[in-house]
Amino acid sequence: MRETADGGLEISPATTYGALAASALPGGLAAVAAGYGAGTIGRGVCAAVCGDAMNLFLLDAGAVFTLASRRGRREVPAAAFFLAAGGTALGRDEMLLAITLPASTMR
């Protein structure tokens, strides 16, 4: 995890729920992460389970997902990343590089 230039937070998909829960981050992220056992935020996000508390938090927070493939990088807002049918906008040839929370979430 690292702070962005504008005061937001960039989270690696390999960040564990335990690391998030143990952090002193404002905005409720640590509290939501505390409800999970083992695993990483990236795996949970890419599984796109409907009604998942973390995915709902990211959606409400206005998170942006950075995706990459051989074609390049793209940034996808949470509202477009999570699909109504329980999938994601992640292409077959793409990987999740980062999840970024805006500065407004970190207050």
DSSP state, 37?
-
pLDDT number for residue 27? 76
Average pLDDT of the residues of the chain: 91
pLDDT at 106 over 80: no
What residues have CB less than 8 Å from 60, skipping those under 6 apart? none
Q: Dihedral sign, CA of 87, 62, 56, 12? A: positive
- CATH (domain of 70): 3.30.465.10
The reported pTM is: 0.92
Using CA atoms, how far apart are residues 71 and 3, in angstroms rounded to an integer?
27
The domain in which residue 87 lies consists of 2-106
Domain total for the chain? 1
pLDDT digits (tens, 9 = 90+) for 63-73: 999 999 999 99
What are 22-51's pLDDT values in tens digits? 987 777 889 999 988 889 999 999 988 878
